[in-house]
Chains A and B, each alone.
Chain A
Amino acid sequence: MADIRLSQVEKRYPNGAHAVRGVCVDIADGEFVVLLGPSGCGKSTLLRMVAGLEEITEGEVAIGGALVNDVSPADRDIAMVFQNYALYPHMSVFKNMAYGLINRRFPKEEVRAKVEAAADMLQLRDYLDRRPHQLSGGQRQRVAMGRAIVREPKAFLFDEPLSNLDAKLRVHMRVEIKQLQRRLGITALYVTHDQVEAMTLADRLIVMNGGVAEQIGTPLEVYERPASAFVATFIGSPAMAMLRGRVDGGALRLDGQPAGLPSGALKAPDGPVTVGVRPEDLRLAEDGWIAGRIELVEHLGADQVLHAALDGQGERLIARFAGAESLPADGPVRLAADPAKLHLFCPESGRRLAA
């Protein structure tokens, strides 16, 4: 059990690819931190640098206060769960879990006791003599978890551990992972590209893009105050609508037309802005300041999702309404949103503007 400190961590590959750029984060003891981002954003590379499977080009990684840059993976006292489980195919479930303990010269009885305790916790007791290929996907996932927990490591590292499972099992295992981590109180770093997984599991999220940690915060902070246009559109489903506009004396203009918001409603300097609105923050209004044409309405039972093409912008937006009030299938539509719920971003840098 330990904290993990990353300071100014950089990864450059010999071919010049710059996979991780100056990531700094302090992960507290017992915290569950999720690395979230699209494919190729450097999240797995960062995790593998913590594991010791990738060299650290620059910066420092410390686990439990000790610098581990040059410590071999086996000596970092961490356990990792891989996307394809990486079980040893020629060993029984028991030996898979015991292998790390045996190599650390634990006495035989202690190994047996630890493996059996982990097997009980994961309902694997009846499968200890089986080989990995005789197990189902969910059971293999559990063995991989078991292999991680028997060692009682300082930290768990998860590399997309649920992406090879079917949707139902994924939800189930997600809950199990979270409960297990809570019960054991072991620091966890978890990589995923699935935002539902990220939002539900994380104490804190690190949203990565192009090797940079775009935002670090609790799931709610990230959702409610995205630090950049990238984070805003990446988190939330359906995605946030992005409109091009201008701020003029604290008032918003879309396509040169005043948006009808009260002057001074937006605390942003004058100039071009990108305005983000979450689908659930939009409402239908006769005199709404967003005008468009309905393209499609999806009825999901509890909500309806409206897809519209905006007049003059060529942009599309998605709005979500609770309830089943009947919406026209096409035709013009006007929408409005509370100024307090708007997210303003700089069109060039994508950073959030003070608002």
Chain B
Amino acid sequence: MKRAQFGHSPIPYLFVGPQLAIIVVFFLWPAGQAVYQSFLLQDAFGLSTRFVWFRNYEDTILNTVWLESAGFTLLFSALVSFFSIAVALLLAVRANEVIHAANAYKTLLIWAYAVAPPVAGLIGGLMFNPFIGDLYHLFNAAGWDFNHTRDGFDASFMVILIAVWKQVSINFIFFLAGLQGIPASVQEAARLDCRSDERRFWTITFPLLAPTSFFLLVINVTYAFFETFGIIDVTTRGGPGGATNTLVYKVYTDGFLGADLGGSSAQSVILLLMVLGLTVLQFRFIERKVHY
């Protein structure tokens, strides 16, 4: 079918203009700079610059520190995404069943959304502070020799806990909206057809929430890769001994603290490609199982 064509007016471009300008100035231009920088080698004082082709990429990928960081990042992202989605789903399903004071529960569960990642990190840091941290003392009192400043596992546990806590509230909002989008009569028809609450959840509710879950998976993976920077910077700074050094935090330390602009640029380009690849994979293999 042929679509009707109307005379174009320049006004829409005026409206789109500011947004495009922001994308160009704050994304395309720096991204282009990063790609360009990733081919350069600079001395520590920035006095001489050499074009080195893919040397920076080779150095990055062959470096065991980077490989360890990449391994941790993948595990960290998988755990953070899984737990923030699972916990949020559980809370949303339960909150959706509450009749009395439902709004109070919902508001309380949504609250943490207003907390920025560095603030979440700060709160977490205080909770785990060896001197005044309640959780620190709780774990130790419970017989777990917990010390996130010495033990890599404990530090990973702490940052994952804080990252999940921060993300659960936004996932909760989406799941709650998704649940309320399922017609009540469909749930009721299912109650007549299936006695078991659990089975009904997995055969009716969960498939109908699949579009929401898929969207959240994409969002949460991106969150775990990039936005947890603030939490790590405030709590562990990648330590102890690089145990919680995610790729994005390593880009920052190598580039801004280590002044290795070329290497850090190469890392950030690789990180970008990883997340891009993961997102494409999710759309290719998981979205197929989602029925909108």
Partner-B contacts on A (CB < 8 A): 51-53, 72-75, 78-80, 82-84, 86-90, 99-100, 103, 131, 147
Contacts and interface: CB of A to CB of B under 8 A. Distances in A.
Given A88-B204, A90-B208, A90-B291, A53 B195 contact: no
A86 B194 contact: no
A317 B176 CA distance: 53
A31 B204 CA distance: 33
Given A84-B183, A99-B203, A74 B193 contact: yes
Contact of A103 (B186, B188, B193): B193
Chain B interface SS verdict (over half): helix
A72 B195 contact: yes
Contact of A88 (B189, B191, B195, B199): B189
A79 B192 contact: yes
Contacts of A51: 188, 192
B207 interface: yes
A86 B186 contact: yes
Interface in B56-96: none
Q: Which 6 A-B pairs have the closest CB atoms?
A: A100-B193, A86-B185, A74-B195, A86-B189, A103-B194, A82-B185
Contacts of B195: 72, 74-75, 103
B194 A82 contact: no
B208 to A, nearest CB: 6
A89 B187 CA distance: 12
Contacts of A84: 183, 185
B269 interface: no
A103 B189 CA distance: 13
A103 B199 CA distance: 9
A72 B190 CA distance: 12
Contacts of B188: 51, 53, 73, 80, 82, 86
Nearest to A51: B192
Interface string B157-185: 00000000000000000000000000101
Interface string B267-292: 00000000000000000000000010
B203 A74 contact: no
B183 A86 contact: yes
Nearest to A85: B185
Contacts of B196: 103
Contacts of A86: 183, 185-186, 188-189
Contacts of B186: 86-89
A51 to B, nearest CB: 7
Contacts of B199: 103
B279 to A, nearest CB: 24
A73 B204 CA distance: 16
A132 to B, nearest CB: 10
A274 B191 CA distance: 47
A74 B192 contact: yes
Nearest to B188: A53
Contacts of A53: 188, 191
Contacts of A90: 207-208, 210, 291
A144 to B, nearest CB: 8
A74 B189 contact: no
A153 to B, nearest CB: 9
Given A84-B185, A86-B186, A73 B191 contact: yes
B192 A80 contact: yes
B192 A88 contact: no
B185, B189, B191, B203: most-surrounded residue (chain A CB, <10 A): B189
Given A53-B191, A80-B192, A131-B291, 16 more contacts: A51-B188, A74-B191, A74-B192, A74-B194, A79-B192, A80-B188, A84-B185, A86-B188, A87-B186, A89-B186, A90-B208, A99-B194, A100-B193, A103-B193, A103-B199, A147-B189
A75 B207 CA distance: 24
A78 B291 contact: no
